Structure 1
């Protein structure tokens, strides 16, 4: 019988990453580390993918939150200044590659989507102006939202919080 999420799994629980201020709990040895994938490779001689599949963990999350944030901040700060990165960056080529992927939309399909969007343009509004019950801004709701009294979810939430007290 295969383990279920939450079942005991070595030192941890199957499918759950235990993170504290000291780091992530290793299911194999019970110690805590900031970079669990690197630890699994060095100490237990298994790859991060093997560790994930053995313990039912998701693709992301083998790095402590603070460490992941530091890595992301460093990349944002430094990659924008690297000439090779800037020269190689090509958003249109990236978009084309995504379209060629497994769920790619054919050129004819894309043309149909664009034509449909153009045909619908301007037909999605009721044509009546409503004043937001919370902030007083005027807006024109969509056909599917004929009963809307608020311009946004945040105004509706503020109204709900105010009236529930």
Structure 2
């Protein structure tokens, strides 16, 4: 399964990052069943050109954050789309500043293909991986860079917070 869905996985240490994004609350169950709000959130982010409304961007790399986990059944969490920024900038009302904590992360690199499919397939793999490894459930994120210019031919890195 690894070769078809995740082409690489490695442990890395990253320094703290600040991301400004537009958040929503959802649950793992709703997203798995296809009744969640993440796809509509992506659509809104692009249609309302939210990227252009985020000040002090550091790079053009986009982040999809998963944070504020509540260990309930189903698992509730905050999902946000945004960009790394220099801290302390002006925020629009619908935005929030997030801190990606410094620490160890497991990075899963998806196969190349339609972004929606390769990311969902990789998350299925990561949930299986989680049965044998300890996730920290602090903050996880997908990083969309120059490999994602064509949404039908994309490759994404997914960073999962792990217990050290």
Q: TM-score range by the shorter chain?
A: under 0.3
TM-score (ref. length: structure 1): 0.18
- Structure of greater Rg: 1
Higher strand share: 2
TM-score, normalising length: structure 2: 0.18
Query: Where is the helix percentage greater, Structure 1 or Structure 2?
Result: 1
